[in-house]
Chains A and B, each alone.
Chain A
Amino acid sequence: MRALVIDDSKTMRRIVSRVLVGLGYEVVEAADGQQALDAMVEGPLPDLACVDWNMPVMDGLTYVTQVRANPAWRGVTLMMVTTESEHGQIVRALAAGAHEYLIKPFTPDALKDKLDLLGLIPVAAGEPS
């Protein structure tokens, strides 16, 4: 499975990517929403995009809106990963088309739980050892 990790913090991208790679994801990183859109145009499309909210150039909410406006990208699951924790912000993101919402700070297990809810734990990673 492929994931796109979008955050203006390289450190946070690495934290999220570390969890996803550990689960077997192939990860591409982007520093803002526009870079992420460019990566999706170039392809291949990700199965999952983890999106920060507050970023320069293009914020996460705009990115989510743009992705949802393109029918060809309907299969991409969008998860906000952000410090924006107010109920109103969560509602805005979900209304714009985000499937899940993870508030920073989070633990690796919290991220895995969200992926599990979305059915996005790769089969090999979910198998009992």
Chain B
Amino acid sequence: MSAAQVAGAAPVAMDHVWNVVEAVWESLLGCWPAPAEPVDVQEDWVTAVITVDGDWPGVVALSCPPPTALHVGRAMLDLTGDEPDPEPDDVDDAVREVVNVLGGNVKALVPGGRALGLPALLSGAPVVDGELAGELFIGWPGHVARLGLWHTGPADQLLPIHQHTEQK
């Protein structure tokens, strides 16, 4: 897996987040993702962000090129090849919903996750006032996306890797 994890920053192994990605891609997009090589988020990329509040406050952000966002919209709306593209608002809604589902499942993985925000959309790389805890590069035929997880609480509240699973 092409997962970058900052030592000591993420309270959960990014492998577990990857498992969430696989479930989301399979059920919402109808495909199975594979690890991709790291890529830089470009200015024209679509980014959906959602906040996780609790003992480990953070931000989950999904970034992808516009054609991939359109693909996500078409896949989630189950549009076949000869059907017209969805409206831009519907594409935005689809990408927001993907990060909403990802964020909700990440909230269940981090310790003390209490509340999920509402998803929002922006252009380009997310600017987060926090520390990047881990990232995943997700590939599937013709497409790539980057998933980032930031810790937005005070640095002295950083929790060790795997703490969540060790508590079980």
A105, B23: Cβ atoms closer than 8 Å: yes
A61 to chain B, nearest CB (A): 12
A65 at the binding interface (Cβ < 8 Å): no
State A107–B24 Cα separation when bound (angstroms): 10
The residues in A between 50 and 85 inclusive whose CB is less than 8 angstroms from any CB of B are: 54, 56, 82-85
Main secondary structure of the interface of B (DSSP, over half): helix
Q: Contacts A83-B116, A84-B116, A85-B108; is A9 near B27 (CB within 8 Å)? A: no
Q: Contacts A11-B93, A11-B94; is A54 near B105 (CB within 8 Å)? A: no
The residues in B between 60 and 94 inclusive whose CB is less than 8 angstroms from any CB of A are: 73, 76-78, 90, 93-94
1/0 contact trace for A70-102 toward B, CB 8 Å?
Answer: 000000000000111110000000000000000
Query: Hey, which bits of chain A sit against chain B, CB under 8 A?
Result: 8-12, 14-15, 18, 54, 56, 82-86, 104-107
B100 at the binding interface (Cβ < 8 Å): yes
Task: Find the residue from A15, A82, A106 having the highest chain B CB count within 10 A.
Answer: A15
What are 18 A-to-B residue pairs whose CB atoms are below 8 Å? A9-B97, A11-B73, A11-B93, A12-B97, A14-B76, A15-B28, A15-B76, A83-B101, A83-B105, A84-B104, A84-B116, A85-B104, A85-B108, A104-B101, A104-B104, A105-B23, A105-B26, A107-B27
A54, B100: Cβ atoms closer than 8 Å: yes
B94 to chain A, nearest CB (A): 4
B100, A14: Cβ atoms closer than 8 Å: no
